[in-house]
Amino acid sequence: MALYSEHTGKKPLKYARNTVIIIVLLLFAIATIFPIYFMIISSFGDPVEAGAMNYTLFPTKISLESYKFFFDYSEYSLRWLLNSLIVASIVTVSNVVFASMAGYAFSKLRFKGRSVLFAILLVAMMIPYQVTQVPLYILIVNIFEIQNTYPALILPGIVTVYNIFLSKQFMSSIPGEILECAKIEGCNQFQIYLSIILPLSKTVLAVMAILTFMDSWNTFFWPLLVTNTMDMQTIQVGLKNFRFANTTYFAPMMAGATISALPMFILFFSLQKYFLRGVTVGAVKG
């Protein structure tokens, strides 16, 4: 803020600079919000005109028929949303629990091979996502034979290296004296983790929960690979059923996309204060 308001030069130069900054920020904001605006506006279109794919910035009329069409089109429309909710919720909870426990172990416990093991995890984090899909598919489908089930959708994302790294880095900043006092009071490692580490790590846990839920909810490629029936598809895969060779049910598809975005909006705004605190905590310490 200080960099923005303070300027030692002439006033016209200061106003010109501030005007340019405001225009650039507005352009970035419009570019960010426009896809969401277009999705919502398109969802209120008429499903009968869906094949025409009428791209208008301002709707001529508001209709909820596309939302009705979305739920009436397939008997599995609600099931797609439920599948996404189940998978994303379990993946989020498991990541928060396991990644925080691993982060605590790597940051506060001293054991043989800790540095080597953490270095291996960091190397694993640098492997591109696409490279691991083929061996993971062979493992899930050919060896475990659990394709088209919830475990097939959940197990690959049950805990990620990125979340372990994130929690480890945050927990390293917690003073060791607090843990020493807890040990003197007679707390064991699990009690320290549960009563001290977790309450002090609410910020990073909230950030972890938001990012993990969004990633799991929006995942398209993996659910497409391991599901072969409509009843096990997630909402992101289910939306592709509105597209055919000669036409696309554009407005109902946008209605489904709008509905699928609602849980992320609710989660983000409910944990917004923790998320913003997590973004700025490093800057304050720096």
Helices (H), 52-201: 65-73, 77-108, 114-125, 129-137, 150-154, 161-171, 176-184, 189-192, 198-200
pLDDT at 232: 92
Q: Examine the pLDDT at 52 and tell me if it is beyond 70.
A: no
Q: What is the pLDDT of residues 75-122, one digit of tens each?
A: 888 999 999 999 999 999 999 999 999 999 999 888 888 899 999 988
pLDDT at 105: 93
The token duo for 280 is 């700025």
pLDDT at 39: 86
* Cβ proximity of 87 and 155 under 8 Å: no
Q: Examine the pLDDT at 50 and tell me if it is beyond 80.
A: no
Mean pLDDT (the chain, rounded)? 85
Non-local CB neighbours of 268 within 8 Å, separated by 6+ positions: 210, 214, 275
Non-local CB neighbours of 117 within 8 Å, separated by 6+ positions: 106
**Spatial distance between the Cα atoms of 230 and 222, rounded to a whole number of angstroms:** 15
Q: Name which residue leads in pLDDT, 284 or 213.
A: 213
Q: What is the pLDDT of residues 139-188, one digit of tens each?
A: 999 899 999 999 999 999 999 999 999 999 899 988 888 888 888 888 88
Q: Examine the pLDDT at 45 and tell me if it is beyond 80.
A: no
* Cβ proximity of 201 and 235 under 8 Å: no
What average pLDDT does this structure show over 35-58? 73
**Spatial distance between the Cα atoms of 26 and 58, rounded to a whole number of angstroms:** 20
What average pLDDT does this structure show over 253-267? 86
* Cβ proximity of 12 and 6 under 8 Å: no
Q: Examine the pLDDT at 210 and tell me if it is beyond 90.
A: no
